[in-house]
Structure 1
Amino acid sequence: MHVYILDIARYHSGMNDEIPLGRRETIAARLANGDAVVAAALAVEFGVSEDAIRRDLRALAAEGRCRRVYGGALPIPTDDVPIAARIDKARDRKEALARRAVSLVRRGELLFLDCGSTNFALVDYLPEDFELTVATNSIDIAAAVLRRADLKLILIGGEVDTAIGGAVDASAVERVSALNFDRSFVGACSVSVEHGVSVFSLADASFKRAVMASSRLSMALVTSEKLKARAPYRVYPLSAFATLVLESDVSTSEQSRIAEAGPSVLTAAKR
């Protein structure tokens, strides 16, 4: 204990870099694991000032290993990577979810496809000659829909958030609030029984709530890593969703827990 206190003291006098570097890597490991961190709590845990922790977080943010927020930092979400860079990642898994989900689509429906690479996979599997209309706020999804002559397209406009890949601002909220969707496929960054569906952007969460309020049925396609992820902005509890489509590797017990929270649970075919 004495050596630890001595090293901290050396750090504050600028004489020793070893302790802050080790502490910084410990914080980075938590962020990489998907955990948000709070500067005040870290200062107490490591026995240093909040200024020291803030320096650590600034350094990690400069390295692209976290996103600074007031009072702490958040992990860099996978969904902050532009959709164009995510489309081909785990494509077979996303296509399996899409094939399972489209079995619920009915002729003549007005569908909403939210931004996201998993929802992007839906476009190719929507039934032909079903007289479907697809509304979307995603630039990439809209382009894919345009390539299908049998689908009608409604593009939800507004200022495009490049990380999200579409519009989620007040203009987009106003537009979806004027529509009545038969079925919406809502994007998710994190899914859990305790916290429902959550995302990494406050504006995106507000937009998704507007979409769901305008939808007769809301669904989400969930890749397995999202069941372990954490995100700060809650969209709705699971009970607000009619259906969740999960991957085949989700345990039976976890599927039961999700179903008990409200939504019907479908599983994609095994790969």
Structure 2
Amino acid sequence: MLAAERRDHLLKLLARDGKIVARSVAVDLGISEDSVRRDLRDLAAEGLCQRVYGGALPVSPALADYAARQAVTPEGKRAVAATAAALVRPGSAVILDGGTTALAVARALPPDLDCTVITHSPTVAVALLDHPTAEVFLLGGRLFKHSAVACGAAAIEAAQKISADLCLIGVTGVHPEAGLTTGDAEEAAMKRALSARAADTYILASSEKIGTASRYLVLPWADVSGLITDAAADHPVVEQLATDGMHILTAG
């Protein structure tokens, strides 16, 4: 089989099965695992898959820049946001991550809700200017423009000095085996620092992120209280997570 034919075969497997297992492909095609890994490296370099140990997974569309992501599944993000906003109780403190889904959560909070919102996102903070009874604490640091959030040592140090009832975190990839992932190491570290300061952490994940993976692990499944998604309950990944004991809040 020619290299181009192997590439097409791998992409079809990824679309059909949602993953590629290098060893199985090598056996099926009668080639070495090294050949499969080389093909996967080439596909990953073109942004067509995310390499993981033993194979590859679909790459997350949420790795696009901030402006482009605002046009990706806006209805799904609004549904996730409405479900997440309902978790914020009067008088409580919530840590709200950055990104387009978190921004939708800020906009979904009732204007008269008396609460405290702690965020490292300038866009989230600005969205709450017209919420007169919401106290807003903005954490500072180096601006990571991909998600319009503060990251780095200064931001993590600031996060370590706060506490909250609830943390709402966005990720770019949700997968039973690869876990909860994102595309930047510093942003992943910041998300972990925020989650560690809350009693409960829920993951915000619109349907395009389900079954995909990015390079850096944010949190293991054991560290989160639940997943909020608009993906259908019979989606294979959602079903697997539910079987594994994850609390799923279906939005929509």
TM-score range, shorter chain: 0.7 to 0.9
Q: Does 1:205 align with 2:188?
A: yes
Q: Does 1:251 align with 2:251?
A: no
In 2 relative to 1, CA 207–29 (structure 1 residues): closer, same or farther, beyond 3 Å? farther
Please give the residue correspondences for 1:142-161 in structure 2 after superposition, counting only pairs within 5 Å: 142-161=125-144
Displacement after TM superposition at 1:157 (Å): 1.1
- Give yes or no for contact 2:181–2:216 (8 Å, CA) kept in 1: yes
Distance 1:224 1:122 in 2: 16
| Counterpart selection for 1:132 from 99, 111, 115 | 115
1:141 match = 124
Higher alpha-carbon deviation: 85-94 or 215-224? 85-94
Displacement after TM superposition at 1:77 (Å): 4.5
- Give yes or no for contact 1:145–1:151 (8 Å, CA) kept in 2: yes
Higher alpha-carbon deviation: 189-198 or 115-124? 189-198
Q: TM-score, normalised by structure 1?
A: 0.71
| Counterpart selection for 1:100 from 79, 83, 87 | 83
Displacement after TM superposition at 1:222 (Å): 1.6
- Give yes or no for contact 2:59–2:213 (8 Å, CA) kept in 1: no
- Give yes or no for contact 1:36–1:74 (8 Å, CA) kept in 2: yes
- Give yes or no for contact 1:97–1:247 (8 Å, CA) kept in 2: yes
Q: Does 1:118 align with 2:85?
A: no
The aligned length equals 249
Q: Secondary structure at the match of 1:230?
A: coil
- Give yes or no for contact 1:157–1:171 (8 Å, CA) kept in 2: yes
Cα distance per residue 1:240-266 (max 9 Å; x no partner):
112211215231773473364343x21
Higher RCO (Cα < 8 Å, 6 or more apart)? 2
Higher alpha-carbon deviation: 192-201 or 209-218? 192-201
Distance 2:172 2:140 in 1: 22
Q: Does 1:226 align with 2:206?
A: no
Distance 1:36 1:233 in 2: 19
When the two chains are superposed, the root-mean-square deviation of aligned CA atoms in Å is 4.0
In 2 relative to 1, CA 146–81 (structure 1 residues): closer, same or farther, beyond 3 Å? farther
Please give the residue correspondences for 1:167-206 in structure 2 after superposition, counting only pairs within 5 Å: 167-206=150-189
Distance 2:185 2:143 in 1: 15
- Give yes or no for contact 1:35–1:230 (8 Å, CA) kept in 2: no
Distance 2:155 2:21 in 1: 31
Distance 1:25 1:156 in 2: 46
In 2 relative to 1, CA 257–243 (structure 1 residues): closer, same or farther, beyond 3 Å? closer
Q: Secondary structure at the match of 1:198?
A: strand
Kindly name which structure, 1 or 2, has the bigger radius of gyration based on alpha carbons. Answer: 1
Distance 2:183 2:21 in 1: 14
